[in-house]
Structure 1
Amino acid sequence: MRIFCTTFLQGASATLLLTVLGPVQLAAQSLDDDLFPLGAINVTGSGLPTEVMDSSSSVTVVDQEDIRRVPPSSVAQVLQDVPGVSVTESGIERIRIRGESSQRVAILIDGQRVSDHTTYGTPILISPTEIERIEVVRGPSSVVSGNRAIGGVVNIITKRGADKPVEVTTSAGYIGSNPGYRATASVAGTVENFDYRLSMSKSDLGDRETPNGTLVPSGSEDRDLHAFVGYRFNDHYVGFRAQDYDLSAEVYTGDPAFKIDLPKRDLRKYSAFYEGADLTPWMSLLKIDVYRQTIDREFRNDITFAAGPSDMNVLSTSDDIQTTGGVRAIANLKFAPGHRTVIGFEYEDDRLQTDKGSTTSMTPPFGPPSVSTSYADASIRTTSGFAQHEATFGNFIGTLGLRYYNVDSDLDAYTVDGLGQPLQGNSDDRFLGSAGLVYTLPNDAILRANISQGYTYPSLSELYLTSTGGGGTVIGNPNLKPETATNFEIGGRIDRSNLVLDAAVFYTRSQDYIAAIATGAPRTSRYENVNNVDSWGFELAAEFDPGWQSGIRPYISASNVTREFNYANGYSTKDSGVPEWTGVTGLRADWATASLGGTWDVFLRMESEATQRDDTGAIVEQTGGWGTLNFRGTVDLGSNAVLSLEVGNIFDKAYRNIDQIDGAGRYASVFLTATF
């Protein structure tokens, strides 16, 4: 399949543009507002405020303008066009980076981790309307960002106050892919030294509509309440934030005899922080924050299958309460011209209490149902310190980083059917390192190189718990080792008046991957460190202004990833379930009439075929390549209101990604946002 079909795109773009916009005048736009803002400041890549252009890591900043262009159906949808990033849709959306599962991607909100102990990976528990910007680091980044950063890091920075005493913003719209709505309202402002924000967002999405029919059930609901207050005095700033987020989802399995329901995935979080700027001649920033969050999760799995002359039904339930508290202190130091240093300390206490149940019954019945219950209380305590130094010498910027980890975990209580079980523990301590180099070339270009390490400590489920689902049982292993990875990459960036480009090639070696291995007992497996993975490929993001009078600019965001799994039995395969090619390419511009203006964007989103094999070489799943034509645009209704529109999968193409539900058919989403 040809991935980037420019001739077809130009013809389709022109046709759709004339249909949607009619006879309007197209206006040229400077690449100062480009799709890939290389001048944006980020802190996730190096721990220091750094322009993306000068970062040795693969960093993308999704700013407020990017978010504004996309109807706010979910945070994951805002990120799906970042090179190397893909969205998984199985009831709750999650993020993969460079083919790594969401279990190996760190999700941070204001630099604070959202932890997860399920086999599905970390969801994003926040409304897209609460976000100021998102910083995405691709590739292992555990020196600066900590645990679960083998694939990369998504750091979501939330909104604070506003520039005037009272600013009211409302947004409401229809989401067509899963027919439903999202509505939000917020009031924010700054009064003397105080700033504040109060907001609410709610969505209710129906079942996914595809070219092959409606997926029943596949709907979801969420409700997000936010409160923030900050106070500034001289060079000091303190703030407090509270979040109350409720989420429920139905998981489409395609089999009426196999049902998964997620009736609750609720987050309660409270955090406070202090920021001090220029406290001494050698300390430009001191930041201390503390937080406590509780995630309340319910899981239901109901499966029926043939068992000889009868049908066996297994109903598995899990009611979890996960409580996480942490403290973090970071200081930015500058002792000499051309030198900057960040040092930090983090402590996290992550506890999981879970009640699990399993009820097995037969049809026709053979005696009463068999019922098994368990209760577990387990915790992980992580202490770490890190430092990263940046030195500028001539045209070179070099960075060196080091983090020390000390992790202790314990199974503090465990009963099965009311009987106490042996208590166990696990610990780990190690150093992780990173190094980067940026060389500035003439004509607004740089070359960069980076070596970085990633680290994922086993989840409490993988270490200690016995979980039942899908008719099978997986047993925890307290002797597991952390998963680790080392990444090598080189790349370059260009940021000129008519061209923005960011490209990189990478190779990642990952070791001690955790997988569920059959024990020999029927439908029973156990977590083991058995697999190694080699990943390599390249990423490209570019936008070009050819100077056409129409102001139309072509752009591309593409990723090539090959992942070779090396299984414990000696079998190796590149059929890892990850498509070799993913990307989006399109044309966009500003448009204007006498009284209205806005943006338009016509683009192809594409993915190549993918095959997944198990450790015997047997094909587990296979999907074909696909491409969809899409339109996205905005209309500025005066200075205080904007209408955003998206028409997806215009040709109603049927497609599906591995381990996900079918993609949405032709749909339209429209949102109106007004600020007063």
Structure 2
Amino acid sequence: MRRVLLLGSTALGLSSVLGAGPALAQIALPDTVITATRVATDAERVPVATTTITRQDIEERGYQSLSEALATVPGLRLVPQGGPGTLTSGFFRGANSRHVQVLLDGVPLNDSADPNGAFNFGSFMLAGIERIEVLRGPASSLYGSNAIGGVVNIVTRRAPTGKAAEVFGSIAGGTQRTLRADGGVAGTVGAFDYLFAAQTLSTEGFNITPQRFTSSRGERDGYRGTAALARLGYQVNPDTRIEGTMRWQQANYGLDRFLADDPNYSAEDRRWSGQVRAETRLLDGLWTTGLRVGYTDDRRRAVNLPDQYSASRTDDLYRGSRTFVDWGNQVRLPAIGGVANDGLVSFGVNWQQETSNTAFGSVPFRGVINRSQDSAAGYVAVQYRALNRLDVSAGGRVDSVAGFGETPTYRLGVVYHLPEANTRLRAAIGSGFAAPSLFQRYGVQGTFRGNPDLRPERSTSWEFGADVDVPGFGNPRLVTAGFTYFNSHFRDLINSNATFTSYTNVARANIEGAEFSVTGRIAPWLEGRVGYTLTRAFDSTTDKQLLRRPQDVVALSARIQPIQRLVIAPELLLTGRAADYVYTNSGASSRRTNTPGGTTANLTVTYQAMDQVSLFLEARNLGNSRYEPTSGYVTPGRSVLFGTRFAL
């Protein structure tokens, strides 16, 4: 922690020196976030670290999948186990991959059929997506189970107002026989609004098995994916709105046997989700209440037939679904004398049912599960601004999952504004939990049996940080520096028992680290950002470093606009070493050691050829780095796409 605090004080001290001179009032950040508080809140009033990726970011940086868009988010480590579409785990601030809650417009997307109840970041395409909000740190007091490490909320695109029809799309092609196209139409006609969008992507891909393995045969793992989104809304009156959203996606991609190429091993991943939501304002807008009903369905199948390389046969089928109902409310609170104002209380209840019908693996070790579980929750959160300087927020929630009773969680946060120093200080403390997955409770695989008496995994986390705006050369925010220190304690983590016949709550973990960022607005045409994440994640029982959590990650990005119609967006990600089990070149048994890190460089160039038409170039992994994010799988190689984008 001394190392973290020293780095943080040095960074903020340097910012203060640079900012010496006449003090300027702090400029409010223009962003608002919903995920951090469940209500639209100015980013400067949120006590926890957040990142928002806008549609402009998605287009200017050429992001085509969720994993690409999140790759440089501070504190988030994505670990793919193969090419596009294959399992990609997300580790938030060193927490486990199942400790991330992923939402689509507020509806949970985590896969009920996944053995750990986690989300696969590798296959989600970005057609019709408006922005992605990322909340780091525990959020179970707002979103319940799994939201221990953080939350990713994917927000779909809205129809434009005052326009009956807007047509948009893009088409691109390039190396590895890659072809990508997307398009849609949206508009508002009277009280109705609509949006339809679709995307398709196909590529030969790369050989993801490291060439150092004797079993590597150079076989490429291709990918074909299609996604479609529909959103319909009706404004009943100025205070009441009804809307529905449905999204469908299918991906087909190549797989490999572990540590070996396998040409006829393939998978298909289908997901559809939908929701209907109604919201109305009462009492002259003082009270807003809404009801949401959502449903998700996941179907994943992997098939491998015997061939000249292997006599093994695989036919895995994962089926999971979730029904979700949420009643949410926001009530504006009166000012308290001349001391506190901008008060707001949000509260609600929700219910969900998860189901898994799954069979995977080979006889006699085939895993089977056919179960469901219900859960219900109630939550409340309050926020106020005191003395025009101090934002205070507090929230609590109680979840009841069938089989193990009630689990309470909480979060407290403060933000103190120092406009004289262009600075805000923030701190938060909270708890989180993750309910055992259906497989962990009821799964059967050979002699291995799930444990229905498992307790939830629990955590207590706290963080503090500061953000400083440094004025200079007439710009009140010439440089913005940010620092966050975080510390988490996990208990009752689920692991196999000593005889490897079932699960038990035995593991503990301690994680601490820091996130640093500096954004420089050097000129109207040049903006650069440097982010650094330091993570120290250890098993409390063995005092060994947790696997696949690099200690150091550096992300650099820039937006360069040398002329009005040209935008150049480079991106560089430097990932440090991480503990892992490393396999020898012959694929022999592994040994625990530190795997080397790697560097990935991306570049996107966009030229606005006409007011409604642009041309772009997207280059990925320019240095053709083939390092292994996890032992046995290399990073996809260099690729280049050329394309055009239009909006009519």
**Counterpart for residue 574 of structure 2:** 606
Give the match's secondary structure for 1:206: strand
Structure 1 Cα separation of the partners of residues 87 and 312 of structure 2: 23
- Residue in structure 2 matching 1:513, options 470, 484, 493: 493
Give the match's secondary structure for 2:401: strand
- Residue in structure 1 matching 2:429, options 433, 436, 451: 451
Matched, 1:265 2:256: no
Question: Deviations for 1:317-339, whole angstroms, at most 9, x for unmatched residues?
Answer: 33232221111111111121221
Structure 2 Cα separation of the partners of residues 46 and 255 of structure 1: 44
TM-score, structure 1 as length reference: 0.81
**Counterpart for residue 74 of structure 1:** 65
Matched, 1:223 2:226: yes
Give the match's secondary structure for 1:331: strand
Letter in 1 for 2:326: R
**Counterpart for residue 123 of structure 1:** 120
Question: Deviations for 1:533-578, whole angstroms, at most 9, x for unmatched residues?
Answer: 111111123211234xx843332022111101124xxx22125331
**Counterpart for residue 521 of structure 2:** 545
Per the TM alignment, residue 314 of structure 1 is displaced from its structure 2 partner at its CA by 5.0
Question: Deviations for 1:383-435, whole angstroms, at most 9, x for unmatched residues?
Answer: 00101111211111111110011001xxxxxxxxxxxxxxxxx3231211110
Letter in 1 for 2:159: G
- Residue in structure 1 matching 2:91, options 91, 96, 101: 96
Letter in 2 for 1:541: S
Contact 1:258 1:303 in 2 (8 A): no
- Equivalent residues in 2 for 1:50-69, closer than 5 Å: 50-69=41-60
**Counterpart for residue 440 of structure 1:** 417
Per the TM alignment, residue 216 of structure 1 is displaced from its structure 2 partner at its CA by 2.7
After superposition, the Cα gap between the structure-2 partners of 1:168 and 1:59, relative to the gap in structure 1 and judged at 3 Å, is same
Contact 1:257 1:303 in 2 (8 A): no
Give the match's secondary structure for 2:221: coil
Q: Which moved more, 1:224-233 or 1:64-73?
A: 64-73
- Equivalent residues in 2 for 1:326-405, closer than 5 Å: 326-337=324-335, 338=341, 339-356=343-360, 358-359=362-363, 376-394=369-387, 395-405=389-399
How many residues align? The count is 586
Structure 1 Cα separation of the partners of residues 90 and 36 of structure 2: 18
**Counterpart for residue 635 of structure 1:** 607
Identity between Structure 1 and Structure 2 (%): 22
Letter in 1 for 2:76: V
Per the TM alignment, residue 179 of structure 1 is displaced from its structure 2 partner at its CA by 4.9
Structure 2, unmatched stretches of 5+, are 1-27, 336-340, 470-475, 583-589
Question: Deviations for 1:148-203, whole angstroms, at most 9, x for unmatched residues?
Answer: 11111000010131231011112111365x65222112111111111001122111
**Counterpart for residue 483 of structure 1:** 457
Letter in 2 for 1:488: W
Contact 1:215 1:252 in 2 (8 A): no
Give the match's secondary structure for 1:572: coil
Q: Which moved more, 1:178-187 or 1:432-441?
A: 178-187
**Counterpart for residue 666 of structure 1:** 638
Per the TM alignment, residue 146 of structure 1 is displaced from its structure 2 partner at its CA by 1.7
After superposition, the Cα gap between the structure-2 partners of 1:51 and 1:604, relative to the gap in structure 1 and judged at 3 Å, is same
Structure 1 Cα separation of the partners of residues 67 and 488 of structure 2: 24
**Counterpart for residue 463 of structure 1:** 441
Structure 1 Cα separation of the partners of residues 525 and 274 of structure 2: 46
**Counterpart for residue 572 of structure 1:** 543
- Whose strand fraction is larger, Structure 1's or Structure 2's? 1
Contact 1:258 1:302 in 2 (8 A): no
After superposition, the Cα gap between the structure-2 partners of 1:606 and 1:387, relative to the gap in structure 1 and judged at 3 Å, is same
Structure 2 Cα separation of the partners of residues 598 and 137 of structure 1: 32
Question: Deviations for 1:313-363, whole angstroms, at most 9, x for unmatched residues?
Answer: 65343323222111111111112122111112111011112245634xxxx
Structure 2 Cα separation of the partners of residues 265 and 675 of structure 1: 31
Structure 2 Cα separation of the partners of residues 328 and 261 of structure 1: 40
Letter in 2 for 1:81: T
Matched, 1:493 2:467: yes
After superposition, the Cα gap between the structure-2 partners of 1:660 and 1:234, relative to the gap in structure 1 and judged at 3 Å, is farther
Q: Give the aligned CA root-mean-square deviation in angstroms.
A: 2.8
Letter in 1 for 2:434: T
**Counterpart for residue 11 of structure 2:** none
Contact 1:257 1:304 in 2 (8 A): no
Per the TM alignment, residue 258 of structure 1 is displaced from its structure 2 partner at its CA by 7.2
Per the TM alignment, residue 284 of structure 1 is displaced from its structure 2 partner at its CA by 4.4
Per the TM alignment, residue 40 of structure 1 is displaced from its structure 2 partner at its CA by 1.1
Contact 1:71 1:669 in 2 (8 A): no
Per the TM alignment, residue 225 of structure 1 is displaced from its structure 2 partner at its CA by 1.8
After superposition, the Cα gap between the structure-2 partners of 1:589 and 1:351, relative to the gap in structure 1 and judged at 3 Å, is same
After superposition, the Cα gap between the structure-2 partners of 1:295 and 1:497, relative to the gap in structure 1 and judged at 3 Å, is same
- Residue in structure 2 matching 1:139, options 137, 140, 149: 137
Give the match's secondary structure for 2:561: strand
Give the match's secondary structure for 1:207: strand
Structure 2 Cα separation of the partners of residues 249 and 285 of structure 1: 44
Q: Which moved more, 1:317-326 or 1:140-149?
A: 317-326
Per the TM alignment, residue 140 of structure 1 is displaced from its structure 2 partner at its CA by 1.3
- Residue in structure 1 matching 2:512, options 525, 528, 536: 536
Give the match's secondary structure for 2:405: strand
- Equivalent residues in 2 for 1:104-123, closer than 5 Å: 104-116=99-111, 117-119=113-115, 121-123=118-120
Letter in 1 for 2:416: Y
Contact 1:197 1:227 in 2 (8 A): yes
Per the TM alignment, residue 586 of structure 1 is displaced from its structure 2 partner at its CA by 4.2
Structure 2 Cα separation of the partners of residues 266 and 586 of structure 1: 33
Structure 1 Cα separation of the partners of residues 357 and 138 of structure 2: 30
Contact 2:575 2:599 in 1 (8 A): yes
Contact 2:277 2:291 in 1 (8 A): yes
**Counterpart for residue 301 of structure 2:** 298
Per the TM alignment, residue 96 of structure 1 is displaced from its structure 2 partner at its CA by 2.6
- Equivalent residues in 2 for 1:236-251, closer than 5 Å: 236-251=240-255
Per the TM alignment, residue 241 of structure 1 is displaced from its structure 2 partner at its CA by 1.6
Give the match's secondary structure for 1:165: coil
Give the match's secondary structure for 1:451: strand
Letter in 2 for 1:669: L
Letter in 1 for 2:519: E
Contact 1:582 1:608 in 2 (8 A): yes
Contact 2:365 2:445 in 1 (8 A): no
TM-score, structure 2 as length reference: 0.84
Per the TM alignment, residue 626 of structure 1 is displaced from its structure 2 partner at its CA by 2.2
**Counterpart for residue 363 of structure 1:** none
Contact 1:38 1:51 in 2 (8 A): yes
After superposition, the Cα gap between the structure-2 partners of 1:458 and 1:303, relative to the gap in structure 1 and judged at 3 Å, is farther
Matched, 1:191 2:189: yes
After superposition, the Cα gap between the structure-2 partners of 1:353 and 1:541, relative to the gap in structure 1 and judged at 3 Å, is same
**Counterpart for residue 20 of structure 2:** none
Structure 2 Cα separation of the partners of residues 94 and 609 of structure 1: 17
**Counterpart for residue 167 of structure 2:** 168
After superposition, the Cα gap between the structure-2 partners of 1:656 and 1:375, relative to the gap in structure 1 and judged at 3 Å, is closer
Structure 2 Cα separation of the partners of residues 578 and 405 of structure 1: 30
Contact 1:489 1:506 in 2 (8 A): yes
Structure 2 Cα separation of the partners of residues 357 and 650 of structure 1: 38
Structure 1, unmatched stretches of 5+, are 1-36, 306-310, 360-370, 409-425
Letter in 2 for 1:556: V
Structure 1 Cα separation of the partners of residues 628 and 361 of structure 2: 33
Contact 1:390 1:398 in 2 (8 A): yes
Per the TM alignment, residue 372 of structure 1 is displaced from its structure 2 partner at its CA by 7.8
Question: Deviations for 1:230-257, whole angstroms, at most 9, x for unmatched residues?
Answer: 0112211101122222123323346348
Letter in 2 for 1:123: N
Structure 2 Cα separation of the partners of residues 504 and 589 of structure 1: 27
Give the match's secondary structure for 2:354: strand
